[in-house]
């Protein structure tokens, strides 16, 4: 029973997912089709990739990384801008660009112990200014003549293995890999320790700045991958891509049981959180609820689910807040 309660976060979100599946079936006969599931997975694939990175930041007790959207835009735009050097080089440049920002974040938050929310907010501001300035507020288009690397680049988003798009596979792979890293590696356990109690982690001899740096690097990596996909999808790179993904990712991560205080939850929960958001939106569209009311429902579901999780943790004696 205790073990059960300790997994209440993860179980909780899958419970909600099951409830949504039932509601969806009642709403429409087309809901439980493979096609529809694929649509839902497709819709939340990007969110899932970003959430897999954000989860590490939250798990290590740093609440949220508000600079992820600008990392997405930056890595994607750099990737497009460097396409003339060939597709693999361009992808590497894009990833490297994102990782640089992540490294900066990790050093400042880890070594200098700056407040993560405020620092990443500052980074989001000056990255936006920097990107606007560098590309003169314009969009950057890849050269898509057939046979060029540009064409291959925009094809990235459109690849699929059979009927399943590559982006969905990447999302699932990243979430599974994230789960392994979080639960099975020493780094993952150290992250949990840092998230649960930073002071205790320092006293135990864990190299906290290093751990934090790696966490932010992982988040930036996920954001860079997502950035490449979103740029590939939109066939252009621009500074306002990815806006809104910071709060959306935090929503998915927290619904999935990774509490904001840190040190709780796991990646499978994050997958559940992403699925819940996708299912909810899909059902509401089926019901003909327009986006204004959808916002209201999403907000209420979010508060309710997370509130229940926190309540369960308290009742189970696992948390004092």
Partner 1 sequence: MSSRPDINSATRWMNENRALLMLVALFGFLSLTAHNFLSLHNVTTILKGACLNGIAAIGFTLIFILGQLDLSIGAVVMLCGMLTIGLQPSLGWTGSIAVSLLSGSVVGLVNGWLVVRARINAFIVTLGTMTIVTGLMHLYSGGGSRAVTDFGFADWLERPLLPLLPPIVLITLVLVAVATVVLHATRVGRNVLMVGGNPETAWLAGIDRDRYLMAGFVLCSLSAAAAGTLFAASLSSMTSAAVLGTRALMTVLAAVIIGGTMMTGGKGSVVKSYFAVLMLTTLFNGIGCFGYGFEVQIFVNGLILAVVVLYEAYAIYQHELLKGQRQDLVAEAEEGLTGVWCEEQEDPEQEGDEMMQKDRFPLVCLTMVSIVGIVAIAAMYLNSNKAPVTVLAPTQAQATSAGAAAPTDATADVFALRGTDGQPYILPQQAKPSIPARPDDPGALPETDAGHWWDIEYAGWDVDKVPMPASPRDGSPGKRIVLLKAGDHPYWTAYVNGFTAMAEAYGMDVKIYNGNWNLDLQAQQTEQAINDRPDMVVLAPVDATGCTPLLRRMNKAGIPCITSNTIPCDEAMKYCLAWTGPDDWGQFRMLARTLADAMGKTGGYAIVRHMPGSSPFFARTYAPITELGAYAPDMKLLAMDTANLEAEGTMQLVSAWLTKYGNELKGLVLAGDGFSMTGTLEAVRKAGRKDLVIVAAGNSKTGMDSIKAGEALAITYQSAEGDGAIAVHSAARWFTGETLDPVIYLPKHIITKTDVDNYMPAQW
Subset of residues 31 to 90 that bind partner 1, contact rule: CB under 8 A: 33, 35-36, 38-39, 42-43, 46, 63-64
- Nearest CB to partner 1, comparing residues 114 and 172: 114
- Nearest CB to partner 1, comparing residues 204 and 285: 285
- Nearest CB to partner 1, comparing residues 94 and 110: 110
CB of 184 to partner 1, least distance (A): 28
Instruction: For residue 307, state whether it binds partner 1 (rule: CB under 8 A).
Output: yes
Instruction: For residue 246, state whether it binds partner 1 (rule: CB under 8 A).
Output: no
In three-state form (DSSP H/G/I as H, E/B as E, the rest C), the secondary structure along 39-83 is HHHHHHHHHHHHHHHHHHHHHCCCCCCCCHHHHHHHHHHHHHHCH
CB of 203 to partner 1, least distance (A): 9
Number of residues that bind partner 1 (CB under 8 A): 78
Instruction: For residue 247, state whether it binds partner 1 (rule: CB under 8 A).
Output: yes
Residue 196, classified by CB atoms within 10 Å of its CB into exposed (0-12), middle (13-18) or buried (19+), is middle
Contact segment (CB under 8 A) with partner 1 among 12-20, 85-93, 170-178, 284-292 equals 284-292
Instruction: For residue 300, state whether it binds partner 1 (rule: CB under 8 A).
Output: yes
Instruction: For residue 282, state whether it binds partner 1 (rule: CB under 8 A).
Output: yes
Contact segment (CB under 8 A) with partner 1 among 6-14, 83-91, 213-221, 229-237 equals 229-237
- Interaction residues for partner 1, span 153-192 (CB under 8 A): 158, 165
CB of 15 to partner 1, least distance (A): 18
Contact segment (CB under 8 A) with partner 1 among 6-14, 15-23, 189-197, 306-314 equals 306-314
Yes or no: say if 321 and 261 are a contact pair by the CB < 8 Å rule: yes
Instruction: For residue 122, state whether it binds partner 1 (rule: CB under 8 A).
Output: yes
Out of 115, 184, 185, 204, which residue is the one contacting partner 1 (CB under 8 A)? 115
- Nearest CB to partner 1, comparing residues 38 and 176: 38
Instruction: For residue 295, state whether it binds partner 1 (rule: CB under 8 A).
Output: yes
Out of 18, 19, 22, 137, which residue is the one contacting partner 1 (CB under 8 A)? 137
Of residues 12, 15, 17, the one with CA closest to residue 277: 17
Out of 86, 88, 129, 155, which residue is the one contacting partner 1 (CB under 8 A)? 129
Instruction: For residue 315, state whether it binds partner 1 (rule: CB under 8 A).
Output: no
Burial readout 95-125 (b: 16 or more C-beta within 10 A, e: otherwise): bebbbbbbebbbebbbeeeeebeebbeebbe
CB of 214 to partner 1, least distance (A): 20
Contact segment (CB under 8 A) with partner 1 among 5-13, 86-94, 127-135, 175-183 equals 127-135
Dist CA 235 CA 237 (whole Å): 7
Instruction: For residue 210, state whether it binds partner 1 (rule: CB under 8 A).
Output: no
């Amino acid at each position: 029973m205790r073990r059960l309660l300790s997994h209440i976060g993860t179980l909780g979100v899958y419970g909600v997912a099951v409830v949504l599946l039932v509601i969806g079936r009642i709403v429409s006969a087309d809901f439980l089709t493979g096609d529809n599931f694929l649509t839902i997975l497709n819709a939340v694939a990007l969110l899932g990739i970003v959430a897999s990175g954000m989860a590490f930041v939250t798990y290590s007790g740093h609440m949220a990384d508000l600079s992820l959207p600008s990392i997405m835009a930056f890595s994607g735009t750099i990737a497009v801008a460097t396409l003339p050097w060939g597709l693999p080089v361009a992808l590497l440049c894009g990833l490297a660009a994102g990782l640089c920002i992540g490294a900066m974040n990790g050093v400042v938050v880890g070594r200098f112990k700056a407040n993560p929310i405020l620092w990443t907010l500052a980074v989001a501001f000056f990255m936006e200014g920097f990107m606007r300035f560098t590309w003169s507020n314009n969009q950057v288009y890849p050269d898509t003549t057939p046979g060029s690397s540009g064409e291959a680049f925009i094809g990235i988003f459109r690849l699929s293995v059979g009927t399943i798009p590559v982006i969905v596979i990447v999302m699932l792979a990243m979430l599974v890999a994230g789960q392994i890293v979080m639960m099975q590696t020493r780094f993952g356990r150290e992250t949990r320790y840092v998230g649960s109690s930073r002071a205790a982690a320092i006293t135990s001899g864990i190299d906290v700045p290093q751990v934090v740096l790696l966490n932010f690097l992982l988040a930036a990596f996920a954001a860079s991958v997502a950035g490449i996909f979103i740029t590939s999808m939109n066939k252009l790179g621009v500074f306002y891509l990815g806006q809104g993904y910071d709060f959306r990712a935090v929503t998915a991560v927290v619904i999935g049981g990774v509490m904001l205080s840190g040190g709780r939850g796991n990646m499978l929960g994050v997958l559940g959180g992403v699925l819940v958001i996708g299912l909810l939106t899909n059902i509401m569209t089926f019901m003909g609820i327009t986006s204004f009311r959808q916002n209201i429902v999403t907000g209420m579901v979010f508060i309710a689910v997370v509130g229940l999780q926190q309540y369960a943790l308290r009742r189970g004696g696992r948390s004092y807040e």
